[in-house]
Amino acid sequence: MADDRPAISDQSEQALLSWLEAHGEPAYRAKQIRRSLARGSASSWEELTNLPHALRGALATEFRWSTVDLVAEEASADGETRKALLRLRDGSQIETVLMPHHGDRNAICLSTQVGCAMACAFCATGEMGLLRNLSTAEIIDQVRHWQKDLVRRGDRVSHVVYMGMGEPLHNYAATLASVRMLIDHELFAISPRRLTISTSGLVPQIDRLAAEDLPVNLAVSLHAPDDATRSLVMPVNKRWGVEAVLAAAARYVARTRRRITFEYVLLRGVNDSATAATALAALIVAHGRPQDSHVNLIPVNAGPGGFTRPRIETTERFAQILRDAGIVATVRISKGQDIAAGCGQLKVVNERRSGAAARV
C-alpha cells in the first residue's frame, strides 16, 4: 500500500509552525524538530527523545521520516569513500557518495535525478536515460542519510557537490530549493561557498542561477575546446555549443564574482592533445581573466564508450599548458573507483531506460 504521508523534509518552517499550532504545541518545537532532522543522529521519529512521546506519535502519523531507504552500502579500499544505494518511494533507486578528506572535510556527492537525459558518452548514468526528477526532499534526505552517521562519530557534512546522478540544472526548482535548505542557519548551516553545482552546460539555467544571488560554486562540464569533439562526447553541445557555454560562464563570473570551474574529462586520443590544451587556454583567456577560471582535469574512469586514460605525462603536459597561460589547473585524484563511485560511474543497473528523450 502506497504511503501518502507528506515528507517532513518537504515542510517549510511556516508549514510546520501551522501544524504545531493546530495540534496545540508551542512554536519552539519547530526549531527543535528542524534542527534534529538536519543535524541529529536519529533514524526515526521515535528516537527524537527531546520531544514528548505524544508529539512523536502525531508526527509519525502525519509525516514520513525520510523519502529514502538504504538498500546497500559499499566502502572503498581507500578506507574513506562510501557509496549508498537508496530506494525511493516509487521503487526507483539512486546512488549517493560520501567522500571524507584528511579527517577535516566530509563532502557528499548528491543525485538530483533518477538517471540522466544528457547521455554523455563516457558516463554510466547516461546509459539509464532519464526516468524522473527527484523532489527536494529526496535530494535533502541523501544529506540526512550521511549526516546521521557522521553526527554519531562527532562529525558533520561540510561540503556538498551536486555531481551525482542527473543534471542538477535540468531539475532546477528542486535543486535550488535544496540549496536554500542546506545553507539555512536553522537547518544544515553549510556555507554556500562549500556547495558546488555541476552542469553539462544548460545556458539558460546558468544565467538563471547567476541571478539567484547565491554565492555557490558552479562547475561546467566542458570536455573539449571545439564543437566537433564536444558534440561527439556530449550531445547537449548540439543545442548549446562551446562558445555559448563559455559566454554564459563569463556572465556567471561577472554577476556572482565567483571563480568558475571547468570540468574536463581527459579521454586518450580524443581530447588530450597539446593542441586541444592550447585551444582550451586560448578560449578561456578570450572569455575573461585567466584567474577567474579553474580547470579540473579528470582522467576518465572505467565506464561506457571504451575510453581510456591518457598517459600520466600527457595529463601533466595538458595541465602545464593551461598553467603557462595563467589558468589554475589541477588533476583530480579520483576516489572510489573500486566501488564504481568515481566521476561518471554512478548507475543503477536494474533501472529501466526511459522510452522518450527529455526536453532540456
Tell me yes or no: is domain 13-62 CATH 3.40.50: no
Q: How does residue 341 score in pLDDT terms, banded at 50, 70 and 90?
A: very low
Single out the residue of 123, 103, 100, 102 nearest to residue 113, CA to CA: 123
pLDDT: is 329 or 359 the higher one?
329
Identify the pLDDT of residue 302: 74
Q: Taking residues 94-119, what's their average pLDDT? A: 91
| Residues carrying CATH 3.20.20.70, the chain | 69-339
Nine cell digits for residue 16: 510546520
What pLDDT, in 10s, does the model give residues 206-260?
999 999 989 999 999 999 999 999 999 999 999 999 999 999 999 999 999 999 9
Do 128 and 358 meet the contact criterion of CB atoms below 8 Å apart?
no
Asked whether the predicted pLDDT for residue 131 surpasses 60, the reply is: yes
Please tell me which residue in 25, 95, 138, 263 is annotated as part of the active site: 95
Average pLDDT, the chain: 91
CA dihedral sign of residues 125, 119, 314, 306: positive
Do 359 and 352 meet the contact criterion of CB atoms below 8 Å apart?
no
Identify the pLDDT of residue 190: 97
Asked whether the predicted pLDDT for residue 55 surpasses 90, the reply is: yes
Please tell me which residue in 116, 120, 343, 351 is annotated as part of the active site: 343
Identify the pLDDT of residue 231: 97
Q: How does residue 335 score in pLDDT terms, banded at 50, 70 and 90?
A: low
Identify the pLDDT of residue 349: 54
What pLDDT, in 10s, does the model give residues 137-166?
999 999 999 999 999 999 999 999 999 999
Active site residue 343: yes
What pLDDT, in 10s, does the model give residues 168-182?
999 999 999 999 999
Identify the pLDDT of residue 173: 98
Cα distances from 314 to residues 282, 303, 305, in angstroms, run 19, 21, 20
What pLDDT, in 10s, does the model give residues 271-329?
999 999 999 999 999 999 999 999 999 999 877 778 999 999 999 999 999 999 999 99
Q: Taking residues 254-270, what's their average pLDDT? A: 96
Secondary structure (3-state) at 225: coil
Do 266 and 297 meet the contact criterion of CB atoms below 8 Å apart?
yes
Active site residue 116: no
Q: Taking residues 20-48, what's their average pLDDT? A: 96
Asked whether the predicted pLDDT for residue 359 surpasses 60, the reply is: no
| Residues carrying CATH 1.10.150, the chain | 13-62
Domain boundaries 69-339, corresponding CATH code: 3.20.20.70
Read off the pTM. Answer: 0.91
Q: How does residue 80 score in pLDDT terms, banded at 50, 70 and 90?
A: confident
Contacts of residue 131, Cβ cutoff 8 Å, sequence gap at least 6: 92, 113, 114, 115, 351, 352, 354
Asked whether the predicted pLDDT for residue 102 surpasses 90, the reply is: no
